[in-house]
Structure 1
């Protein structure tokens, strides 16, 4: 037994770092550096394009109802590919899936750059949704497998925390770069409008991401299954997730909360840019500050997430009620957004909403993991993600067209209603008792009250 770990280390170090098919790093430090650097590069592109995404669509003549359709296609595609991505990565390799995702992100950026019609943007949404689903998980799985093969006792929490910080920093850097690009003289880069130039920057950033994956992420050869067989596992995954959720009231309530929060979030994500354009005098003026606003969103989310660790006693012991309080304040923030005619007040209100969303997310995730048996944890997390995507699609198809036909303020009031209902739903979710924990791990329907 004492020789197990050295043998594992020699086996890994027999591969040469940088070679395709079977190459891995031979120390945890090398694996960690690859993981963190690829995580950072993954999120620069989104940081560049998110601040101006809706502006790009409306700049090319789409109305809010059509923007909602584009977002709905993106969400529906992500739903379609969300669950099978784990099986696909295990089948053809995590590195291959990351490369596929990066190529789809580049295609999305290019279509946003050159597109002028709804069909082109729908294609962009489909490719981007597929890329988003494919990029969920394979890098983290690669890191855990590689690092744990070298050091089976490695504690992962610190590295995942660092990865989360780098993700936020990358989004912040991308958003600030978007501000700089938007404030260049129009036409100074390839004759592009300052609304579109960020899409070019995102394409370059995503190209760097793909090259970095090609050059640094390596894994041993594995038996290759078919894509069809990976997708064939989806019905069984869904059935298993639905069975567990149906047997536990707390999980059902948490899934319902995720759906409601997603509806509220979509009301912000699809409507804030047109609202700033209204308040500031047009999409070009809005593009100049959109990156700063998104940077503020990222910082507000960091604050909200950090606050979850510093709740006072009663709130810390009752995460369901604390999440309900956070979502109630989010609903108030959405009402303030609807009433605001000042860009500074609007910005402050949105930052508060994002901070409380982030706080509630941490608490809801804690509750979800407490109620899920370890052998079905990934399945239920995927179902939770699916609930959020369904909320995204539903809001994009219903809420956004209503806002387009009435007013942006109406859309935000509907979002506030969704957040408030979600707060009522999650308020009754509590931590399991010791007896219920035993039932959960035994596979029994522990929460029937």
Structure 2
């Protein structure tokens, strides 16, 4: 982190510095600790909220790889600027959405999720590729490890601040005790207002980035045709190269389960009797733990193969889900924090492996293939969890959420066990150093 502040090493290059700043402001969103309760307090049911996550994932499914290919052909900077502008619009919609607005509210929430998914698809891969390809070719892999590690640490700091601020802003009861009264409806929008300001900053940062060579020739139509061909070639390469496909599928399996829980985490905290003002503080504590994940991930990846690291993450995910299921008051916070930190470990491992496997001309596209697969997995898990919630509501009534958690754990354990039993029959083993062809 000190080299970032001193602008030395890989951070002597503008794109590397701006990438860290962009990824912090783009991802550290103050409404995260209250995400589920924000939508349900607006007037949506929990099942509808979970379905919104499917809409978000479907938007990425349609646009993720084409956006990466367009970044590799039309320009990475254009995609990052576009993503930032969409972030501004999606936040504005949440600021203006009417409480208990019925069909209009649901329609606006769907539009918000569509724009959010489109923004994620546009930024995914393009921002990393801008930073990675701006680094000198000599020593690029080790330099990228330093950039990625700094980005993850600063994101952890950003999340720590955003989570603490978001939870405190959403529940102004603590301010009322010292004589500061904020109407509840206004307080519920304040975390979104903070992220709206971050979105404006992201636009400015994206405009300051420098375009890197993207191997584009010919007219816009020719470049779009080239993007389509690049999409097909890269997707075929990703899913027919075993060393890449296994890591993508293993990563998405763990990531999708952890992310689905992350979206309903605030409802879980309500379930285990945590006061709303503490949601952000718990999120901040999780962010503090995430600060140490890059170094742990680096050491694990130096000792084990990528599949070995994912195997460790999968085992920890099953343990966390098992401890979440009983919904013990207060103690349930610990396994939820463990599940969140696994997102960083999986992301570091998969990203490191894919960067080592990609050529410069297809890097953003391959990263977008990863994003496509991850978000398709996330959407599938969200849909399955929504269906499970609906079924549990028929038999368990108001205790449906707790019942769904109990059913989720064994189902996920079986899926992870079957995947790794199949994967370890191939060439990737638990022991050995990380290598794209290992």
1: CA distance, partners of 2:74 / 2:241: 35
Whether 2:49 is the aligned partner of 1:55: answer: no
Secondary structure in 1 aligned to 2:188?
A: coil
In structure 2, the CA distance between the partners of 1:401 and 1:232, relative to structure 1 (3 Å rule), is farther
Equivalent residue number for residue 21 of structure 1:
none
Q: Is the 8 A contact 1:84 1:231 kept in 2?
A: no
Equivalent residue number for residue 60 of structure 2:
78
Gaps of 5+ in 2: 1-10, 99-104, 393-399
Equivalent residue number for residue 296 of structure 2:
307
Whether 2:87 is the aligned partner of 1:101: answer: no
Secondary structure in 1 aligned to 2:38?
A: helix
Listed as ranges, the matches of 1:57-206 within 5 Å are 57-116=39-98, 117-146=105-134, 148=136, 155-184=143-172, 185=175, 192-206=185-199
- Spell out, residue by residue over 1:170-223, the C-alpha distance to the aligned partner (whole angstroms, 9 max, x if none): 222211221332243589568744222111111112112223434x33459998
Gaps of 5+ in 1: 1-26, 442-446
Q: TM-score, normalised by structure 1?
A: 0.75
In structure 2, the CA distance between the partners of 1:177 and 1:236, relative to structure 1 (3 Å rule), is same
Alpha carbon RMSD of aligned pairs, Å? 3.8
Equivalent residue number for residue 444 of structure 1:
none
In structure 2, the CA distance between the partners of 1:191 and 1:403, relative to structure 1 (3 Å rule), is closer
Q: Is the 8 A contact 1:266 1:396 kept in 2?
A: no
Secondary structure in 1 aligned to 2:332?
A: helix
In structure 2, the CA distance between the partners of 1:235 and 1:42, relative to structure 1 (3 Å rule), is same
Deviation at 1:318, TM superposition (A): 5.2
Equivalent residue number for residue 415 of structure 2:
421
Whether 2:321 is the aligned partner of 1:329: answer: no
Listed as ranges, the matches of 1:169-318 within 5 Å are 169-184=157-172, 185=175, 192-214=185-207, 216-219=208-211, 232-233=225-226, 235-245=228-238, 247-280=240-273, 285-286=275-276, 288-311=277-300, 316-317=303-304
Q: TM-score, normalised by structure 2?
A: 0.76
Q: Is the 8 A contact 2:84 2:119 kept in 1?
A: yes
In structure 2, the CA distance between the partners of 1:328 and 1:409, relative to structure 1 (3 Å rule), is farther
Question: How many residue pairs were aligned?
Answer: 399
In structure 2, the CA distance between the partners of 1:207 and 1:305, relative to structure 1 (3 Å rule), is same
1: CA distance, partners of 2:301 / 2:252: 28
Deviation at 1:119, TM superposition (A): 0.5
2:368 to 371, 382, 394: 382
Deviation at 1:42, TM superposition (A): 2.9
In structure 2, the CA distance between the partners of 1:273 and 1:36, relative to structure 1 (3 Å rule), is closer
Q: Is the 8 A contact 2:121 2:368 kept in 1?
A: no
2: CA distance, partners of 1:144 / 1:251: 19
1: CA distance, partners of 2:68 / 2:185: 39
In structure 2, the CA distance between the partners of 1:152 and 1:269, relative to structure 1 (3 Å rule), is same
Deviation at 1:382, TM superposition (A): 3.1
Q: Rg: which structure is higher? A: 1
In structure 2, the CA distance between the partners of 1:278 and 1:379, relative to structure 1 (3 Å rule), is same
In structure 2, the CA distance between the partners of 1:97 and 1:336, relative to structure 1 (3 Å rule), is same
1: CA distance, partners of 2:256 / 2:22: 31
Deviation at 1:76, TM superposition (A): 1.0
Deviation at 1:246, TM superposition (A): 5.1
Secondary structure in 2 aligned to 1:84?
A: helix
Q: Is the 8 A contact 1:43 1:167 kept in 2?
A: yes
2: CA distance, partners of 1:341 / 1:321: 31
Secondary structure in 2 aligned to 1:340?
A: coil
Deviation at 1:304, TM superposition (A): 4.1
2: CA distance, partners of 1:238 / 1:350: 37
